Structure 1
Amino acid sequence: MAGLLCLLLLSASLASLLSPGGSVFIHREHANSILDRVRRANSLFEEMKKGNLERECWEETCSYEEAREVFEDTEKTNEFWNKYKEPYPCGKLTLARRRRSEPLTADSSKDPPEDGEDLDPTMNPFDGDLDPTTNPLDLLGLNNTQPSSAEDENSLVRIVGGRDCKDGECPWQAHLIKENNEGFCGGTILNEFYILTAAHCLNQEKRFKVRVGDRNTEKEDGNEMVHEVEVIIKHNKFDNKTFNCDIAVLKLKTPIKFRMNVAPACLPEKDWAESTLMTQKSGIVSGFGRIHEMGRTSVTLKMLEVPYVDRNTCKLSTPFSITPNMFCAGYDSKLEDACQGDSGGPHVTRFKDTYFITGIISWGEGCARKGKFGIYTKVTNFLKWIERSMKKTKTRPQGEPEVTAAPLSLD
């Protein structure tokens, strides 16, 4: 009797599923809740066991330190970590999905983009293709010159206020250093061969190198690397008086090895960046700059969250020209800003735990002065220029002589 009752109940259930209007499928959220993998419970002596890759990193999400315990070797850990963390958080497919799922909300108050993307045809020492940035690690997480004053050209921006970058934060930070290892400008890692910086930085030093992975200039933690510069590509429309088109790309002689505290930031898609990223409340800047105006430089890498500033407010705050290739960020009264010494550094904007390059620290009036903001190069106006610059300077084939003289400047 019980068997017959069960059979009748089963028949009724099937009939309800297959009847017109009935749904054969269940919602994805419900399905995921049913099919989700159950993690193995930690035993009493779990922490006493030797690191196990399956237990630590596949059954659960592991940290870099947990992976290091498994491999017991920094080089092997870095190799695994680069592949373990999502390698393409800002690839074209990701951006395409975001663009389809989010409506564009163009800001009509912004000036139309100026044609700042033309690449000088003389910038072609080598031919070929080089993919733009598509594989940053998914790690976590100004320049202040008065452009009309020649005497301030060597006093370029650094971070006032803010806090130290923690381990794993600000991995895209690059540091331009003189022959005596003294830093003079910042930069952003684009990919293993390329650094983004400000064009005006290139007027300060003829010979310099690029250091990455540095979080403290007075001590090393094993992640620091110094690279020689092979080619300098300065925008051919850069104006040294107004700082318009204040952008440059550096090609390194040897590739950067990505690891903890060394990873590129993402180059966004133009329309999506301007409608979504640059309408966020704030971005993040970083650098080794001065702690306050005319003060000492910071020993540690610092980061600061700076709010985007309305374009009209920005223009009214300064007698200098704010071109369509610039934008403002910062506080009008709070004592936090960029200051002398680290222009060319990154302005990035966070979106769903991925950090996109939105600006380059360019210039300003003093440091954290009331009613004044930091001025940044608007990277979205130069995305095509950046991509073409990288393609025009593809890695030399093996066997060709390296550039051993001073870096080639392609103005």
Structure 2
Amino acid sequence: MLWVFRTCLCLLFAHCATSEVFLHTKDANQVLARHRRANSVFEELKKGDMERECREERCSYEEAREIFEDVQKTNEFWNVYVDGDACLSNPCLNKGLCKDAVGKYTCSCPELFRGYNCEIAIPQLCEDKNGGCDHFCKVDQKKGTALCSCAKGYNLAADKKTCTSDDPFKCGHVFPKGTRSITIHRPTENATNTGNGTSPINVSLDTLDVNTVKTNSSAKKNTNDTESQGDSWFGLIDPSIIVEEEPVLPVSCGVTRIVNGEECPPGECPWQALLMNEDKMGFCGGTILNEYFILSAAHCMNLSRSIIVIL
């Protein structure tokens, strides 16, 4: 009976000893999970294999380049292969585009943002497209914003950037066709030199022919001569015309015609030039294009044999 006990005890010790030295196949594969394949005879002549060279083994940059045979694709793979993809967490803010690199990443920031992660907002100041202002731009140092202002004759719109003209007949604005009623004052038949009686005449602008409106310079000498001027519409030397409605400029071919206009004070219109003849009489105007050219109307070129330009 004793020898049976000793035999069992020896077998138990033998089993424990062998279990510590040798591992089962399943356990051994957990340590050596992949088996390397031996190189074939013409291995160097074959195209690189991604699975064998970079998945089963640790490949170098040169081996990766041989696999892709393209520098850009190799760099894109290598940046992720070495230390992982840093752009997976989307570190770029404000819709910036992330590009991974070895040990770092770069962000391509959209307009008006900067910083390593596009976290800094850039205020649109005057140096950038005039701050969005139509005319003048000034930086508010306290608020760090752009303040817009307009030139004389213009008003700042509700958006605080656009300038609109306060001129009812501003350049480039086409007014609709229409008529206006005007009142022409002239003396009545019983008016005398000491009287100022007038009778209004309401006419339409469309029916009023400027060529039929005549005045006689001899009326300056004797006001009684007005009785003999039957072809005159009115007898006053300087008749006053009262506009009862808003004036409407004539429209021709969709382009507004500017009639008369206003004199520009000296220095207020630096783009204008005066064309003078040999007698130093101004006969036309022009617009300065550059230091060599003046733009003027075509008919002005035939009004004088020599033209003097006054700026």
TM-score (structure 2 length as normaliser) = 0.25
User: Quick one: higher RCO (CA 8 Å, sep 6+), 1 or 2?
Assistant: 1
TM-score (structure 1 length as normaliser) = 0.20
